């Protein structure tokens, strides 16, 4: 029997009938994960800033969207998905405040009045801290001409998003783990403290044994920019013991739990290596070997990222993100 046919919330006598999903439709630009769940892959073009993955889940009372991307093209792909699904957007869940995961919030709020945004309060500190500082640096770089031509649209786009910071914030703040029903679909919201950001939210869909983990799993390398490496390791242990059989990363394709375990091992080895005293090049080489099935021919970029983040960890540049 085809999967994804489970939802049938008929409201025959209601003036506002609830959506009925008798058969999971094909969504353009999306990878069907089964059971009324679709992955809209985030892009990462050379020389451009990335979009995080988005996930659409259909619930008896509407659609739930996990993360909203950065570029307009990604938001348009999400919208095409909603149109094909024929469901109203009931809720957005943001895994964390990075701009490749929340920039679509204002556009989607405007298109879907009444949508409720779930997320942690970590964005408040980011708006006055990391994002404010990076906006200052971006304005300076634009004015002194040091931004490469190809990156200018992304830099300007991020500045415009930061200027609308209040519209990125959650309506429903989730700072502690909570099991709840969103759009009629039971989901377990889990919180990782001091991991990829100060507070990362990830979702365990117990009915599907699927974890949607945002940037707790990324490719072609772990994105350590605002991370506490040891807290991140603990979060990965929590995902590993959650019961999940599938893991949806923040960047990269769907993973089986065996694949996730391989990624987890490569992350653990990379961390141990960078915290040691051997050559950092060996840490990057270890990462490239451990994650080679995903990296494919993206080796140069993966190595450059691993070298950069290895240096941040070795130099103690991320230790501040581990402080309470
Ligand atoms: Zn991301």
CA of 267 to the centre of ligand 1 (A): 16
In the predicted structure, residue 184 carries a pLDDT above the cut 60: yes
CA of 17 to the centre of ligand 1 (A): 36
- pLDDT (average), residues 209-215: 98
Report pLDDT for 7: 37
Q: Find the range with the poorest average confidence among 42-46, 107-111, 155-159, 198-202.
A: 42-46
Number of H helices, E strands in the chain: 11, 13
Report pLDDT for 17: 47
pLDDT band at 19 (very low <50, low <70, confident <90, very high): low
In the predicted structure, residue 185 carries a pLDDT above the cut 80: yes
Asked if 154 and 48 touch (Cβ cutoff 8 Å), the reply is yes
In the predicted structure, residue 324 carries a pLDDT above the cut 90: no
Tell me the pairing of strands 37-40 and 31-32. antiparallel
> Is the entire prediction scored with pTM above 0.85?
yes
Report pLDDT for 11: 30
Where are the extended beta strands (E) located within 61-113? 62-66, 89-93
Asked if 231 and 193 touch (Cβ cutoff 8 Å), the reply is yes
CA of 195 to the centre of ligand 1 (A): 13
Radius of gyration of the chain measured on its C-alpha atoms: 20
CA of 49 to the centre of ligand 1 (A): 10
Report pLDDT for 35: 84
Q: Tell me, rounded to whole angstroms, the distance of Cα 188 from its chain centroid.
A: 16
Asked if 100 and 50 touch (Cβ cutoff 8 Å), the reply is yes
How far is it, in rounded angstroms, from Cα 162 to Cα 108?
16
Report pLDDT for 40: 97
**Domain layout of the chain by residue ranges:** 31-267
CA of 214 to the centre of ligand 1 (A): 7
CA of 188 to the centre of ligand 1 (A): 21
Sheet-wide strand order for 185-193 = 178-182, 185-193, 199-205, 210-212, 246-248, 255-256
Structure confidence by residue, pLDDT tens digits, 249-274: 999 999 999 999 999 999 999 999 99
CA of 25 to the centre of ligand 1 (A): 27
Structure confidence by residue, pLDDT tens digits, 24-82: 678 888 999 988 999 999 999 888 899 999 999 999 999 999 999 999 999 999 999 99
Asked if 155 and 147 touch (Cβ cutoff 8 Å), the reply is yes
CA of 20 to the centre of ligand 1 (A): 32
165 DSSP 8-state letter: G
CA of 142 to the centre of ligand 1 (A): 23
CA of 10 to the centre of ligand 1 (A): 37
Give 129's Cβ-side CA count (13 Å radius).
Answer: 13
Burial 114-133 (b: 16+ CB within 10 A, else e): ebbbbbbebbeebbeebbee
Tell me the pairing of strands 255-256 and 246-248. antiparallel
CA of 110 to the centre of ligand 1 (A): 23
Structure confidence by residue, pLDDT tens digits, 115-158: 999 999 999 999 999 999 999 999 999 999 999 999 999 999 99
| pLDDT-above-70 percentage for the chain | 92
CA of 217 to the centre of ligand 1 (A): 9
Report pLDDT for 87: 85
What's the CATH number for 31-267?
A: 3.60.15.10
In the predicted structure, residue 2 carries a pLDDT above the cut 90: no
């Amino acid at each position: 029997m085809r999967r994804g046919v489970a939802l049938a919330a008929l409201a025959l006598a209601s003036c506002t009938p609830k959506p009925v999903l008798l058969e999971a439709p094909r969504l353009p630009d999306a990878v069907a994960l089964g059971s009324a769940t679709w992955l809209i892959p985030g892009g990462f073009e050379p020389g451009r800033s990335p979009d995080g993955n988005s996930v659409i889940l259909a619930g008896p009372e509407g659609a739930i969207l996990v993360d909203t991307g950065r570029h307009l093209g990604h938001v348009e792909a999400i919208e095409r998905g909603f149109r094909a699904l024929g469901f109203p957007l009931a809720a957005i869940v943001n895994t964390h405040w990075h701009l490749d995961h929340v920039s679509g919030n204002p556009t989607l709020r405007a298109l879907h009045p009444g949508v409720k945004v779930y997320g942690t309060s970590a964005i408040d500190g980011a708006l006055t801290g990391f994002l404010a500082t990076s906006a200052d640096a971006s304005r300076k770089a634009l004015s002194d001409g040091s931004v490469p031509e190809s990156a200018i649209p992304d830099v300007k786009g991020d500045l415009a998003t930061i200027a609308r910071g209040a519209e990125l914030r959650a309506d429903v703040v989730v700072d502690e783990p909570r099991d709840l029903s969103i759009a009629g679909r039971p989901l377990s919201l889990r919180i990782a403290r001091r991991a990829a950001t100060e507070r990362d939210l990830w979702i365990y869909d117990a009915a599907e044994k699927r974890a949607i983990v945002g940037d707790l799993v990324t490719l072609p390398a772990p994105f350590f920019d605002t991370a506490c490496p040891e807290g991140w390791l603990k979060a990965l242990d929590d995902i590993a013991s959650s019961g999940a059989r599938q893991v949806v990363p923040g960047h990269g394709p769907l993973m089986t739990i065996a694949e996730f375990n391989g990624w987890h091992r490569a992350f653990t080895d990379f961390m141990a290596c960078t915290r040691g005293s051997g050559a950092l090049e060996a840490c990057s080489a270890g990462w490239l070997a451990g994650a080679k099935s995903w990296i494919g021919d993206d080796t140069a970029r993966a190595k450059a990222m691993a070298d950069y983040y290895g240096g941040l960890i070795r130099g103690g540049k991320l230790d501040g993100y581990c402080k309470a």
